[in-house]
């Protein structure tokens, strides 16, 4: 079995997991999502993902009519039934199906989906040697803190990275580095760690937050401040954070070598602490 699916609280076969052609997720991208990682049967901050989903729902005036407790129970049940020890849980909630009109319909019920898939770890050499990134203009809207399914700008950016043989595309809005197509960006200069502040221009990553806690525990110097593209190229170390990305060192950007061209000391320490966290956290 490749994927275990619950649609609107019911377990369904892949072939029968279908939604209406007038679902607002399909027509308007009118929905939000989460991707949650399970390590050896333990949830990595499921609680924080649920809090972010609730916040996103409020921001788009979406009533989670099925009940958040119901969702959490369904997620836990689905992971257990899948038998997968290392898994990803994709959760999507849309405003449901209604005749196509921009304004929100009054009597629809949410469509809510849970997909559990087994996760194979990324190649070890990515973490050991680091990977490449490219930079691309951030062409998204200005509410990137909402984890909406409207991801076309992110998809285009990731496709550009793929075509360039790179792992990830790093966004710049004007001259400022915001985040990447599916991860947050950190850089280290002279022992100081910088990352874009958690405002409306980036997704407030769960992994980003876990890494901020690691940084504080290590007494590293942290600056949640914007930095320019130029500063990114002058960095000693650059790394990404994300649920599926984990903590990933970047050693080359737009063909230019970052630092010594190998994962830096601070990045390695954060990766090590992050790995340990994935072996303990279960909430
Ligand atoms: N930024 C963007 C644009 C993303 O899509 C993701 C991955 N969902 C992240 C950052 C990282 O967030 P998280 O650590 O919660 O997975």
Q: How confident is the model at residue 236 (pLDDT cuts 50, 70, 90)?
A: very high
Atom in ligand 1 nearest the alpha carbon of residue 144: 3
pTM above 0.85, yes or no: yes
Listing DSSP states for 151-220 in one string gives -HHHHHHHHHHHHTT-SEEEEEETTEEEEESSSEEEEEETTEEEE--SSTTS---HHHHHHHHHHHHTT-
CA 212 – ligand 1 centroid, Å = 15
**Residue 135 pLDDT more than 80?**
yes
The confidence band for 36, taking pLDDT boundaries of 50, 70 and 90, is: very high
Q: Which ligand 1 atom sits closest to the C-alpha of 52?
A: 15
CB 94 within 8 A of CB 110: yes
Residue 147 among the catalytic residues: yes
Mean of pLDDT over the chain: 98
Neighbours of 278 (CB within 10 A): 16
**Domains of the chain (ranges plus CATH)?**
3-118 (3.30.470.10), 124-278 (3.20.10.10)
**Which one of 11, 54, 109, 147 is the catalytic residue?**
147
* Residue-by-residue DSSP string for 23-39: BHHHHH--EEEEEEEEE
């Amino acid at each position: 079995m490749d994927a275990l699916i619950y649609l609107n609280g019911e377990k369904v076969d892949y072939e029968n997991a279908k939604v209406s052609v007038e679902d607002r997720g399909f027509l308007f991208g009118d929905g939000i999502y989460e991707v949650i990682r399970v390590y050896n049967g333990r949830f990595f901050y499921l609680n924080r993902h649920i809090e972010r989903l609730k916040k996103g729902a409020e921001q788009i005036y979406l009533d989670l009519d099925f009940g958040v407790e119901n969702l959490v129970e369904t997620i836990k049940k689905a992971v257990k039934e899948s038998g997968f020890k290392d898994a990803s849980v994709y959760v999507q909630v849309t405003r449901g199906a209604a005749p196509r009109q921009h304004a929100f319909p009054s009597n629809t019920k949410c469509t809510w989906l849970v997909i559990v898939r087994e996760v194979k770890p990324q190649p070890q050499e990515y973490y050991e040697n680091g990977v490449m990134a490219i930079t691309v203009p951030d062409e998204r809207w200005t509410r990137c803190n909402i984890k909406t399914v409207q991801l076309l700008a992110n998809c285009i950016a990731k496709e550009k990275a793929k075509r360039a043989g790179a792992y990830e595309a790093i966004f710049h809005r004007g001259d400022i580095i915001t985040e990447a197509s599916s991860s947050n960006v950190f850089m280290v200069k002279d022992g100081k760690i910088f990352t874009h502040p958690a405002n409306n221009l980036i997704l407030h990553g769960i992994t980003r937050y876990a890494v901020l806690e690691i940084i504080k525990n290590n007494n590293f110097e942290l600056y949640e401040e914007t930095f320019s593209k130029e500063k990114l190229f002058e960095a000693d170390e650059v790394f990404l954070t994300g649920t599926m990305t984990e903590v990933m060192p970047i050693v080359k950007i737009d063909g230019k070598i970052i630092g010594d061209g190998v994962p830096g000391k601070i990045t390695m320490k954060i990766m090590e602490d992050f790995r340990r966290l994935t072996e303990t956290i279960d909430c």
